[in-house]
Structure 1
Amino acid sequence: MKISLNKQSILLLSVNGLFVLAGALSGTFLNVYLWKSKQDYSMIGWFTISQQIALGLTFWIAGKWVKEHNKMNALRLGTAVTGLFYLLVLWAGREAVNYIWPLGILLGTALGLFWLAFNVVYFEVTDPDNRDLFNGWVGLLGSVTGIVGPLLSGWIISRLEDDQGYRVIFTISLVIYAVSVVLSFFLKKRKVQGTYKWLEPFRRLSSKGDPWRLVAPALAAQGVREGVFSFLINLLVYVATTQESKLGQFSFITSAVGLGSFWLAGKWFKPRHRYMGTLVGAILLVLVILPLLWKVGYNTLLIFGIGTSLFLPLYILPMVSAGFDLMGTSGENVDKRVELVVLRELSLMAGRIGGTLIFILILSFSQTTSTLTWLILALGTAPIFSWISMRRLLKAGTRKAS
């Protein structure tokens, strides 16, 4: 049987692609922009934590709006507020480092609104048969935008003096966010169903035998790695080279590799592969960190980046698909899909904040290169704990798919 995507799925992918493209243009260099004003890893870490706190709370609080009212408006508002964030950064200029918490909270709120609505609609327009295909396309589009966005941004920034390049790319992102909002109006209004259960995420975690008690720790472990790696790797590339164009080149190469790996994974990866795929992917994601123990330079970071792009689909696709598949295992779970999406994000948020707090704490004692690389390795082992937590669930899914 040929697996395909319907028109609404394709339209949702388009909205996602534009949103991610705008983020790739500006988000790749946002932390570098802040770093150039104040060379402080902890400042970047607290900026990340402020985003994650706001993102998690927005998922939980806005869950009522998404479930009982118009979820498409939440998606549009999230896109619009993300554009507002970059408008404020443009206005603040180099003084933005003095407003880390309010800016981080604003960005986290915007991202929370968008991704909550996106994840719920994603569940509604896909099914277990085409979910891996959809996720593969999401990764593929992310890689394409990762190729185009940072390379173009790096080229613009390096060609213009002072902060003019940053102003240009932030403005371009504003325009793309506006186009994304317009395109979202072609998505059908989704049916409203049921009443929002505020404490459902916490009830699931306290219910003995609930499979989400296996998924939540796995997602938290995933978040431990994501929380730090999401800002640190790009920043290390800039610190090692002091050239935005090199960071653009780094993103271009790693995203090009990700383009191929996600395309192959989306095409060939099946539910029966999830158990071994997650384990192998988690181990390989740790092994690619080892060159950094020898030296933190552009070449070793590039080896790490290419390896991560190559092996990440093996780990991340089962993590995403297995969790969303749980939402469709019964009529009750389908009815509570918004609450379960909230639970998923709260688990990731807990891990991201935890990992970033560890990062800030360790660097408060020592900021040597050796400390930084060993910390990267320690946090980078988190995907193995994801597999350990979810292995029974993944194995059950493998048997069912065989």
Structure 2
Amino acid sequence: MKPAERARLSQLLAIESLVTLAGQIAGVFSIVFLVRTIPAQEASLFYFEAFIATTIACLLAFRIGLKRPRLWMAGAMASLCCFYLSFIFLGGRALLFVAPLFFAPYIVGFWVPFNVLYMEQTTKENRGFVSCVVFLVFPVIGVFSPLLGAYIATSVAYWVIFLCAALALMTNIFLILLGNATRSPPLAPKPSTGTLGKRLSAALFFEGAQEGVFFTATPLLAMQFATGEMALGTLFALFALVGGLASLWVGRISDKKGERARYVRIGALLSAPFILLAAFAPSLQIYTVANSAVNVALTLVPIFLFALAMDRMEKDKPSAVLTRELLLNGGRMLGAGTVVAVLFTLGGSALAVSIAYAIAAVVILGSAAVK
């Protein structure tokens, strides 16, 4: 990688770090916050609504394009600020139906240009490793920020963690508007599932379905073993740490041997039994070990599916990125909707949450079909 490319990538990582900091301080507690005021089955509607809106936003982005990516990214940060501030100024069912609407512009407006920009700094020879570095930001930030969020929520007030998240995002707006790394020509992506291929498209869809389950079911399941915010923060931090430990060396091996699909299959197949074990774990110790194993194995799936998509559409990265985002959010909508169906059918009981979480073990196997 050339020095100029490293400099741009470093700026992008700084921007990503602030987004991740906001998400890990406050975002991981969004469902926890909702469940404190409304039943779990109603709270499960939150991300289901968000992913419906995001899928629609992806389709609109194909139609209108992203003519000024930098402004889209800044606007996305403003939308995410509103998302977190709504937790301060709204409550109960008003929050449930308003906040998700701010989530969709963030996903499309920020992550599509960001992913195009960072992929422009890569080649087939280093894409797996660079992707691992970018994805590693999530677990690195996640080691301490959930603990910080939990401490603030218990020692000061819950609303302060959402304010801190909003302040981090406001800072990010300046980095986006002033930095050289976010300069980009207009993006005019087109739907490209045919170019990606049926099996890779299906794998991305099922990756999204697993994520859609986890967005809601992970905090609900964790609350069965740790009810206090500090205990929950500790669990979230631990899972983030183990999720990043195995990624860098695998990224280097994948670049050298060109076996990205193989690592996706390994990650999907290994994670499924541990998801089931975590879902029905009889104790905190078994749950912690099982979920740690899930985070190690599952890390391989998004990293290398993304790299595979870029390999196949090297000459049209914007189309690859937005098509991937559409497939992911279509899958997330399905996964989150399944959780909603289970919880409304069986109630918000511990067994219902376990069954909802276990669905991820089934849908992630769809990603193992990649070739």
Q: Give yes or no for TM over 0.5.
A: yes
Is 1:192 paired with 2:190?
Answer: no
Structure 2 match to 1:218: 203
Aligned to 1:73: 71
Secondary structure of 1:37's aligned partner: coil
Q: Which residue of 2 aligns with 1:61?
A: 60
**Alignment counterpart, residue 80 of structure 2, candidates 79, 82, 98:** 82
Match of 1:312 among 281, 298, 306: 298
Partner residue in 2 for 1:397 = none
Which secondary structure does the structure 2 equivalent of 1:55 belong to? helix
Which deviates more, 282-291 or 24-33?
Answer: 282-291
1:176 aligns to 2:156 (yes or no): no
Cα-to-partner distance string for 1:41-86 (whole Å, 9 max, x where unaligned): 3x2322111111222222332356654x211111111012111221
Conserved? CA contact 1:66–1:117, under 8 Å: no
Q: Does 1:33 align with 2:33?
A: yes
- CA separation of 1:24 and 1:123: change in aligned 2, threshold 3 A: same
Question: What's the offset of the Cα at 1:321?
Answer: 0.6
Structure 2: gaps of 5 or more residues: none
Q: What is the match of residue 342 of structure 1?
A: 322
Of 336, 339, 344, which residue of structure 2 is paired with 1:364?
Answer: 344
SS in 2 for 1:38: coil
Q: Distance in 1 between matches of 2:296 and 2:199?
A: 27
- Residue 288 of structure 2 aligns with an amino acid whose one-letter code is L
Normalized against structure 1, the TM-score is what? 0.84
Aligned to 1:111: 107
Q: How many residues align?
A: 367
Instruction: Note closer, same or farther for the CA distance 1:84–1:98 as it changes in structure 2 (3 Å cut).
Output: closer
Superposed CA RMSD: 2.5
Question: Partner of 1:238 in structure 2?
Answer: 223
Q: Deviations over 1:312-338 (max 9, x none)?
A: 23323221110122221xx4xx2xx33
User: What secondary structure is seen at the aligned counterpart in 1 of 2:246?
Assistant: helix
Matches within 5 A, 1:3-402: 6-41=6-41, 43-63=42-62, 66-67=65-66, 69-92=67-90, 95-160=91-156, 164=157, 166-184=158-176, 185-188=178-181, 189-192=183-186, 196=188, 200-201=190-191, 204-205=192-193, 210-270=195-255, 272-292=258-278, 294-295=280-281, 297-328=283-314, 331=315, 334=316, 337-367=317-347, 368-388=349-369, 390-391=370-371
Q: Distance in 1 between matches of 2:209 and 2:130?
A: 25
Larger radius of gyration: 1
8 Å CA contact retained: 1:75, 1:113: yes
Offset of residue 109 of structure 1: 2.1
Contact 2:275 2:360 in 1 (8 A): no
TM-score normalized with structure 2 length = 0.90
**Structure 1: stretches of 5+ with no match in the other structure:** 392-402
Give the partner amino acid of 1:73.
Answer: L
Query: Compared with structure 1, are the counterparts of its residues 313 and 362 closer, same or farther at alpha carbon in structure 2 (3 Å cutoff)?
Result: closer
Supply the distance in 2 between the matched residues of 1:231 and 1:86 (Cα, whole angstroms).
17
Percent of aligned pairs sharing the same letter? 22
What one-letter code is carried by the residue in structure 2 that aligns with 1:360?
A: V
Q: Which amino acid aligns with 1:118?
A: F
